């Protein structure tokens, strides 16, 4: 029997831990079991029980205190994640060999982990070797997506994770309850967005001609990327992308 994993990603404070806590409640109401693994070596507290916690292996605080390393918080986190990647046997032991498991991996918010550092991809590959079916869940705070250029920036961050991890991915806008009624109405169009009309709507916000040109160029790039995903047969990824960005 395969096991299932969600890699829960997104910028700091986007709602990853809240998502995991909510999923636990949701699974409980369905009478199904789900477990959470904390992969943030700098986490302070969370409102759910964890089956494994990376802080048992390594903590950012300890790394920062090491006088021979002299890392700050971000360098310390990268060091911890690389140490984790070199010690996957710790995770294997913590996960055990129960079949039909459903596990959420609550990840750190540093975007570099999903853009150019290899550790998250190594984690995905390792989980796949252990017969997990893995999908990505990328969260972005909806308050930062009400204007079109911010939306595009969120899309680019999600896209970086999709490109580097190569797994099916669901992108989620969080904290919708904090939006004003006007912003809620505004954001509805992002659920089925037509980029070019969005840019027309926001032509007052984007004053600089150069910035507008750059935004258009990025949109064109995303559109081409989506087309090439379909061409190379990665339909799942292309469809995920089109959920957010129907070009």
Q: Name which of 2 and 13 has its Cβ closer to ligand GTP.
A: 13
Which tokens belong to 37?
């693994």
For ligand GTP, give the closer residue by CB, 165 or 173: 173
Beta carbons of 157 and 215 less than 8 angstroms apart: no
**Contact assessment for residue 58 and residue 80, using Cβ atoms and an 8 Å cutoff:** yes
| Residue with tokens 């060999």, as numbered in its chain | 97
Calculate the CA dihedral of residues 4, 110, 15, 243 and round it to 10 degrees: -70
| Coil/strand/helix, residue 168 | coil
- Residues forming contacts to ligand GTP in the complex (CB under 6 A) are 10, 12-18, 40, 109, 174-175, 177-178
CB of 179 to ligand GTP, least distance (A): 10
User: Cβ of residue 209: shortest distance to ligand GTP, in angstroms?
Assistant: 36
| CB-nearer residue toward ligand GTP: 157 or 238 | 157
CB of residue 77 to ligand GTP, shortest distance in Å? 11
Smallest distance, Å, CB 177 to ligand GTP?
5
Give the count of beta carbons closer than 10 Å to the beta carbon of residue 60: 25
Q: Which is nearer to ligand GTP, 15 or 154 (CB)?
A: 15
């Amino acid at each position: 029997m395969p096991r299932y994993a969600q890699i829960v990603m997104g910028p700091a404070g986007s709602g990853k831990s809240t998502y995991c806590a909510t999923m636990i409640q949701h699974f409980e109401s369905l009478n199904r079991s789900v477990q959470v693994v904390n992969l943030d070596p700098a986490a302070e507290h969370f409102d759910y029980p964890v089956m494994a916690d990376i802080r048992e292996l390594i903590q950012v605080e300890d790394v920062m205190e090491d006088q021979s390393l002299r890392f700050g918080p971000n360098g310390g986190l990268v060091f911890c994640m690389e140490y984790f990647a070199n010690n996957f046997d710790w995770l294997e032991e913590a996960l055990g060999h129960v079949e039909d498991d459903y596990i959420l991996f609550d990840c750190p918010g540093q975007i570099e982990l999903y853009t150019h550092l290899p550790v998250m991809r190594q984690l995905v590959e390792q989980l796949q070797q252990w017969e997990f079916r893995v999908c990505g869940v990328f969260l972005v705070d909806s308050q930062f997506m009400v204007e079109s250029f911010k939306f595009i920036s969120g899309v680019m961050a999600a896209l970086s994770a999709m490109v580097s991890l190569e797994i099916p991915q669901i992108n989620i806008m969080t904290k919708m309850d904090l939006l004003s009624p006007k912003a809620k109405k505004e954001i509805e169009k992002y659920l089925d967005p037509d980029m070019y009309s969005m840019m027309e709507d926001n032509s007052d916000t984007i004053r600089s001609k150069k910035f507008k040109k750059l935004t258009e160029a990025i949109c064109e790039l995303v559109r081409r990327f989506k087309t090439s995903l379909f061409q190379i047969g990665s339909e799942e990824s292309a469809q995920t992308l089109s959920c957010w960005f129907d070009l």
